[in-house]
Amino acid sequence: MKIGIVNDMRMSVEALRRVVVTVPDYEVVWVAQNGVEAVAMCAANRPDLILMDLVMPVMDGVEATRRIMEKTPCAILVVSATVEGNISKVFDAMGCGALDAVCTPVLGKEGMMTGGEGLLAKIRTIGKLMAKPKARTTRIDTPRPSVRTRGKSLVALGASTGGPQAVAEILGKLPADFRPAIVIIQHVDVMFAPGLVDWLNHQSKIKVRLARNGDVPEPNSAWLACSNDHLIITADLSFQYTPIPTEYPYRPSVDVFFESAARYWPGTQVAALLTGMGRDGSRGLLSLRQRGWHTIAQDEKSCIVYGMPKAAVALNAASEVLHIKSIAERLTQLCTPAT
C-alpha cells in the first residue's frame, strides 16, 4: 500500500513513518507539510491512502480533503494529535470524504511508541475496504418473530464516506414534528460516536441520541449506532449489539442492521442508502425492498463516493434514486399520514 503523510510537525511525521514501515507491504511515498502541498503531491503521485492532519498552516486538513476528493480522490484517514479538541473538524473532514479518524501515535522517550497499533488497525480496515469484495459467507439466522405491531414508523439511514454531511443535510431539513423514529448507521469508530451525536444535534430539529442495548426506537427521535459491533433490531423491537459477522470490515454494518429491520420491524417503512465506499448496505436495502419497504439510494452527482448506492442500484434495491437535497422532502412526503 502506497501511503502519503500530511503533517507539519516533524516528530509526528517521524512517528507515523515508524509505524507504517513496520508492515512490509506499506510504503511512505511522500510527505506534505500542509494541505496545499498535499493536493499537489496527490495529483502528481496518487497514493492508496493519505494520513491527513487536521490543523496545519496555509491549508487545513478539512479543505485539503475536500479538494483531493474533488480532483484526485483516494482513501483518507484523519490522523491528528488534536482529534478530541477539534471534533467538529473531524466530522467536517469526514463529510468531505475522509473515511475515519485516529489519534497520532506518540514517539516518547527512548523511542517508545504509543498509539501505533490503533493506527495500524485503521489502515488494515481501510485496506479491506479497498480490496475486491468477497462473496458474503455469514448472516444472522434468527427465527421470525410472532406477530407483534406497535404501529410505529421507522426511517433507516446507512452511510459511510461523506456520510456525516449527508446525514446532517437530511436531518436539518426534516420538520421538528417528523413522527417516525430514525436510525442512523454511519461507519464511525466508537470513540467518535458521542461527538458525532453532538455535531448532528447542532444541525437537527430532531433530537439525536446514542443507541444503547435495550433501547426502543421511539417516534420523533433519531438514534445513532455507537459501537464497533453491529447494531440490530431484535424480535421485541429493541436495539442490540452483536459482533457477528466478525469478518466484516464495515463496523457497524449497514447490511446487518437493514437485514434485522427487514426481519423484525412490522409494516412498510422507509430506508435510504447514502454516500460511501464499498458495497455495505446494498444487499440489506434489497432485503428491505423485498419486504415492502420504500427504498432510496443517493444519486451519483451528490455522493462524495458513489460506492454503496451504486451497488444498491445495480441490485435493483432502490425504489428511487435521489439527490441528497431531495431526500428529506421525500421522507416527509412518504411518512406524512394521508388526510
Residues classed as catalytic:
160, 187, 280
Using the 8-state DSSP alphabet, how is residue 205 labeled? S
Neighbours of 64 (CB within 10 A): 29
Give the residue among 254, 299, 307, 250 at the shortest CA–CA distance from 277: 307
Q: State the Cα–Cα distance between residues 210 and 217, nearest whole angstrom.
A: 11
Cell of 181: 423514529
Give the residue among 72, 43, 48, 53 at the shortest CA–CA distance from 15: 53
Q: State the Cα–Cα distance between residues 256 and 233, nearest whole angstrom.
A: 9
Question: Is the bond preceding residue 175 a cis peptide, omega within 30 degrees?
Answer: no
Angle, alpha carbons 251-254-259 (nearest 5°): 125
Those residues whose C-beta lies under 8 Å from the C-beta of residue 130, and which sit 6 or more positions away, are 48, 75, 277
Whole-number Cα distances in Å, 328 to 64, 173, 231, 255, 271? 29, 6, 23, 22, 12
Give the residue among 71, 130, 59 at the shortest CA–CA distance from 100: 130
> What is the DSSP secondary-structure string of 289-313?
HHTT-EEEEE-TTT-SSBSHHHHHH
List phi, psi (to 5°) of 253. Answer: -90, 130
31 DSSP β-pair partners = 5
